[in-house]
Structure 1
Amino acid sequence: MTKVAAAGWIAVADGECQRSSSDPLENCCCLGYNYSTSFNKRRSGVYTLANFCGVKCLDVEGYCDSTSGGGGWLVVQRRRQSLKQKDYFHRDWVEYEDGFGSLTAEFWYGLRALHYLTSQGDWEMRIDFQLSNGTRSYMHYGHFRVGPAEDSYRLSISDFKGSTPTDPFSAHHNTMEFTTRDRDNDRSLNNNCAVQHSSGWWYNKCFTINLNYHYDKSSYGLIRFGYNWHSPQFLEMKIRLVNCTFQ
């Protein structure tokens, strides 16, 4: 995966897509489902994106989802239960900052990227997943933001809607700092949740949802709805500017 750069990324704050017929795209907003005919050929996949600018602009790669919920999403995390490395997300702080994995397989886009993107404009977040019985569901949050490194990439998430019976994310994990096996910021008094559950995450004490959780652990799943735990066969976490306009 293309590592995310720490040098002052910002997004196109007004959410409008300045399209051209060739890459790089301005951002994933250029891949909405309701484009004019000339742009309907755009498909979900890896694109070069040019909306990461500091002193100079940097072209980086990202996986754009052009279909879910109208399209325009940048996928920032993906899991597949079928892959053999069940503890693939048991990583150190620096790895979670920089991002790891493959944009076409399992990956984490990086905390630096999530902060720099969501600090510019208003962002929403969507989680799409498929349960072991084949049921497809989604969770949508109208507000999503990740704080800076000096605040341990604190999570701000709210405004839930979706096809699931309850909201396992914002009620338990909103305002939490990120924790990894080598940096303990959770609220558990007796242990490091990232060590106990083999993955970095915005832990409370410890979680009701953890999309990076070790698949082979027996006492939990990745997501809890009420008293029931679930471990989706496939899931994606993706973000989009709230005022993303598909011109």
Structure 2
Amino acid sequence: MNTKVPLLVLVTLAALSVSSAHGLKSFKIFKDCDDVLKTGHNESGQYLLWTSEKKTLKVHCEHGLNASTVLILQRKFGDISFTRSWAEYQVGFGVSSRDYWAGLETIYKLTNFQGYNVLTFYMQDWLGNNRNVRYSYFHVTDYSQGYRLSVSGYSGSVPDDFSYNNGMPFATFDVGDQKNCAKNQKAGWWFNYCTYTLPTGHYYNGGPYTPSGGFCDGIFWQDWNTYKCAYSLKYLSMVLSTS
């Protein structure tokens, strides 16, 4: 198993001042996404939070009627590839209004310092069926431990296919796992011989697909329907909340 993880390249806020401002809904700095909503900023989008580390963190706040969550992954259009390197999964990629990955370092900070430890999956298939899955505890370690996953407290309208990944470090094609799942399934994820769900898989239009080389590489939730992993969902998002 390749356990060597590249060191995180820390960049100062000053160096990020121009790029961080891009796409922000406000130049104010907030405590959390609920604070954003309570102060009258009703539009979902990217905002700056002030962390317990006394640093700013750029996140996408998704506003509901009475609360706000943080979007960490969205699959919606299939216009970008999720076959990415460790470095890309670490810092994040995409556009939060379209297809998007917030970044492992952001997820680490949210789950360790900001109290965002409740994870919800929102999913839709190509027939318009919507299902949600919630985990009351979600946490990842820092980069030195491979952003190892802890998840528990399942509830939902489709069987639990994510707890199987509990305890696993994140893997990509260049920082691999024991079974080469990341390379074979062409995505970064918390693989465990390999996985029963792949939100970071390839976006296949229409639902059913033929697994590439015998490996399921679509956006699947194994127990969604009788196609098992050979059915790619139309929409999937992962959001974090504090309760």
TM-score interval, smaller chain = 0.7 to 0.9
Q: Which residue of 2 aligns with 1:79?
A: 75
1:204-224 superposed Cα distances (whole Å, 9 cap, x missing partner): 111101100123462234110
Shift, 1:6, TM fit? 4.5
Q: Show the 5 A alignment for 1:1-247.
A: 6=10, 23-30=28-35, 39=40, 42-43=42-43, 45-52=44-51, 54=53, 56-58=54-56, 60-67=57-64, 71-80=67-76, 82-85=77-80, 88-120=81-113, 121=115, 123-164=117-158, 166-170=159-163, 172-185=164-177, 187-188=178-179, 192-216=180-204, 218-219=210-211, 220=216, 221=218, 222-225=220-223, 228-229=228-229, 230-242=231-243
Q: Number of matched residues?
A: 209
Shift, 1:178, TM fit? 0.6
CA RMSD of aligned residues (A): 2.7
Shift, 1:92, TM fit? 0.5
Structure 1, unpaired ranges of 5+: 9-20, 243-247
Aligned letter for 1:196? N
1:189-231 superposed Cα distances (whole Å, 9 cap, x missing partner): xxx1111111100001111011001234622341101762332
With over 3 angstroms needed to count, the CA separation of the structure-2 counterparts of 1:94 and 1:22, relative to structure 1, is: closer
1:68-98 superposed Cα distances (whole Å, 9 cap, x missing partner): 8x53210001112x4344xx11000111111
**TM-score in terms of structure 2 length:** 0.76
| Separation of aligned partners in 1, 2:47 and 2:203 | 31
Q: Is the Cα–Cα contact under 8 Å of residues 31 and 65 in structure 1 kept in the other structure? A: no
Aligned letter for 1:174? N
Q: Which residue of 1 aligns with 2:17?
A: none
Aligned letter for 2:78? L
Shift, 1:112, TM fit? 0.8
Structure 2, unpaired ranges of 5+: 1-7, 13-25
Higher relative contact order (CA 8 A, sep 6+): 1
Q: Is the Cα–Cα contact under 8 Å of residues 79 and 99 in structure 2 kept in the other structure? A: no
Q: Is the Cα–Cα contact under 8 Å of residues 5 and 98 in structure 1 kept in the other structure? A: no
**TM-score in terms of structure 1 length:** 0.75
With over 3 angstroms needed to count, the CA separation of the structure-2 counterparts of 1:133 and 1:5, relative to structure 1, is: farther
Q: Kindly, what percent of the aligned residue pairs are identical?
A: 26
